[in-house]
A and B are shown apart, each in its own frame.
Chain A
């Protein structure tokens, strides 16, 4: 029996298992497996914050140990690289928003990478909600700094003649709404695709090991060797996914910061 024959069915089952299933209630009002793990991620994040606060109160402002230095490094990285580097003088106002988005997505992605857990950001609903929050935030910031009419006008670049001006304005308006879609889809697709690929290699690894468990033969031994090879690839992809979890949190936050900066900038 060739293990590759059953791979198609197993893959369909794997992809189906990624769709949202309600644990409590139904899909409209209830808790799917993704939202459940999202709450787990939020709880973990809050525990980390409270433990940090308690340790800081005990140790004073001087960070001690790996845990406190690690958290401080992350927060400082977020502050210096994402906020100060992009937003300039107004970083202090946006730092709470930027940092919450970054740590929320990071916690979700890292929880999702643990075998058996699901990423809260790996369903389109959570990703779309996050993108909507970011979208509303940067529009509100633009309106606040320039006024509603001024913000709408600032979509078109200054110094362009009349007919081209209107066309560019329309394109810019369209691309502003497109940001909402791309932010959500990028986050969702990265998490979803990564988990499907990891699942596919885990499936390959188990399917190729199965003949050896049923009875010893030379082909079964060869297939077990292939299984070990798939397992090695799975481990490599797992490492890559850990990187992706951090990079996607970074990219989402960076893009939000860039959009805020564009909305607030006076020269355009």
Chain B
């Protein structure tokens, strides 16, 4: 019965302790939710590392962690104990206080963001701020500060280079990320994350259908924002040893590690919310809430959200273990020459698509434009037009940018590439070098 009824029993219990209804609503409940979310997220982050190790292992023809517990299931716990008991080493010439506090900034910035993520309807969201999306973008960009401080205070050249790279990278990709969301916001007409899901629910559509280009840009810049491969330049192992956290060890290092995984979960959560409909799945409402099973509805929606989020996480893992790493200048090229222009094109195209659809519904002169302020009310034809325009947008942006970037070196790689020649020199000839005519010039 617990699953199906409204979750009043906790309220009743709390009321018996003598607390007022106000205190419970604004003080006790948020704490319960925060405690739950922080515990779950921390545990989840730990198991995300386990999953990543397992997935990478299966991609690489090996087994991954197998020793601690069945199938190595207790490996994250063993890792945690190991990291906590390690020496907390501080380099002699490090700026001690900044060095101490940088990891806390990173982890705090990553975890605070979870307060506005709508994991499900009703009680599954801690707080629904009406500027939720802005809050996520703003707070998660505080994470850059932690990286810069960590890199600077370590007093190591590798850390400094890593920090410089990360600041340049995250700042420029934040622009693309923010711009890519605008297209979806034009449909949702709200910044509240729950509101965005609600808008998709009432339209019965996931916004990646209308916004394929925006979704792509968001995914790519999300990877870069999280410093994940192929954009993991701030911690490029083969060049900068470990980048900004080269000098960190033990617990402080594990905080950076947790912050990275938490940030990855957040980006996946935002992508899920804005483009994949969040916890909304058709028919769930009809079979649960409509029949009076409120808590079942919340729980099923929560699982739907987690499933979508995991799919995006898996995509990130997959990319990391498949692709080589970009170089620093190439990364900047992608950000400034491709992602930001195509995000701008996306905004323009989305706006004109909305205008066209509205005009198709009936042209009333300037009143049509005024009516846009009240939101887009899409008919079936309107939806079809929107989807076609969305797909066209990908093509248009691709073609336009290809034309602009035609002369750049990185675009014409295939034409610069040469094949190899096979030469069968006769055996035992005196050793005279045959210099290829092309190369001799």
Q: Do A and B come from one complex?
A: no
Q: Which residues from chain A sit less than 8 Å from chain B, CB to CB?
A: none
